[in-house]
Amino acid sequence: MTIEEIEAFMAVVEYKTLSLAAEKLYISQSTISQRIKRLEEELGVRLFTRQPGQRTADLTSHGSDLVPIAQQWASLWRDMYTLHTSSSKTLISIGSVDLVNNFTFVPLYKKILQNYPDIELAIQTFHSPEIHSLLENRIIDIGFVFSQIKYPDIISRPVYREKMYLITHEESDYYSEISTSQLDPRKEAYLRWGIDYELWHNSNWNNSHHMVTVDTGSTLIHYLDKPGNWAIGPVSLIRSMQKTDKIVCYNLKESPPPRICYQLTHRYPKPSKRNALNVFEQEVEAFVSSNENICRFEPWMLE
């Protein structure tokens, strides 16, 4: 068994066809086919079902069983191969949504960089589905999202919860406990905060047109510079806005569902990074417990 055979197997698992997997690995289709055949011969089992006229290569039961083993094998091989190039620092690659990276966790990241000189952070911002996929393929080491997608080798754990508020210019004629029926959707800067939020939003405004639709929390602020314009967002975003802009927030009579942040980790973390990841997770716990803007997650919050 070689790393080339394992990489060929994992590429076909990810891209579903031999041709596309070969393209991604920059090898010919005949080469990837030979590597898969050798691997099957070494293991004595069929890994894929390939019917005449069928483009996709579907995993057999033996193939499905091999996936987590192959991931671990490849991870250990890469760690062993790069021992001579490893530095004194351990790199943790973080993939998070915009709100976490640019607002909520900024103090946490700064604290880790200050207190742990042997840890280096690579902080990248993605949408939730991308983060799940990147972690599954070991491109990142840890992720933070607001929605869950089931992957067999990803462990998802809720870590904190934030309440959602009406956000508006301080000269707007809005007030605490205002009803959603008194908010004009044509003046809303809308961000789809998640499935639960979207269901709540549609039940209150019935899919009405918005002033503008954005895809990140950091973009909302640009459209709240005039009285009457409004948006809905979590408290960590609001606190950041209030540092430089004339922004206020109010409770809504019909409360939006709170945002629950989930920490994603791989079931089989890279051995060389296990200690650094444990330190990072401990700092996340401490930060969540002490931050006044967010609430430590408790199981009853899902009830």
Q: Residue 215: which of 128, 94, 103, 104 has the closest Cα? A: 128
> What residue type is 57 in one-letter code?
A
Q: What per-residue confidence (pLDDT) applies to 215? A: 83
Three-state secondary structure along 234-276? EHHHHHHHCCCCCEEEECECCCCCCEEEEEEEECCCCHHHHHH
Residue 209 lies in a domain: yes
Is residue 299 assigned to a domain?
A: no
Note the pLDDT of residue 183: 95
pTM over 0.85: no
| 240 located within any domain | yes
**198-219 average pLDDT score:** 87
Domain that holds residue 59: 3-83
For residue 281, the model assigns a pLDDT of: 95
pLDDT beyond 90 at 89: no
Q: Mean of the pLDDT values across residues 296-302? A: 60
Question: Taking 90 as the threshold, does the pLDDT of residue 174 lie above it?
Answer: yes
Listed residues 45, 61, 83: the one ending a domain: 83
Residues 156 and 268 in one domain: yes
Reported as a single tens digit per residue, the pLDDT across 51-62 is 766 678 888 989
Assess if residue 286 is contained within a domain: yes
Assigned domain for 302 exists? no
| Cα–Cα nearest to 90, from 124, 121, 111 | 121
CATH number for the domain harbouring residue 287: 3.40.190.10
Tell whether 136 is covered by a domain: yes
CATH of residue 73's domain is: 1.10.10.10
Task: State how far the alpha carbon of 63 is from the alpha carbons of 33, 40, 149, 279, in Å.
Answer: 15, 9, 22, 35
Q: Is residue 255 part of a domain?
A: no
pLDDT band (50, 70, 90) for residue 244: low
What are the tens digits of pLDDT across the range 10-49?
888 888 888 888 888 888 888 999 999 999 999 999 999 8
pLDDT, position 279 = 96
- Res 85 pLDDT > 60: no
Mean pLDDT of 281-294: 89
Asked if residues 172 and 229 have their Cβ atoms less than 8 Å apart, the reply is: yes
Q: How many domains does the chain have?
A: 3
Higher pLDDT, 9 or 147: 9
Backbone angles phi, psi at 57, to 5 degrees: -110, 110
How confident is the model over 170-179, as a mean pLDDT?
95
Give yes or no for residue 165 having a pLDDT over 90.
Answer: yes
Is residue 216 over pLDDT 80? yes
The stretch 131-136 carries a mean pLDDT of: 86
| Mean pLDDT, the chain, integer | 86
Residues 76 and 93 in one domain: no
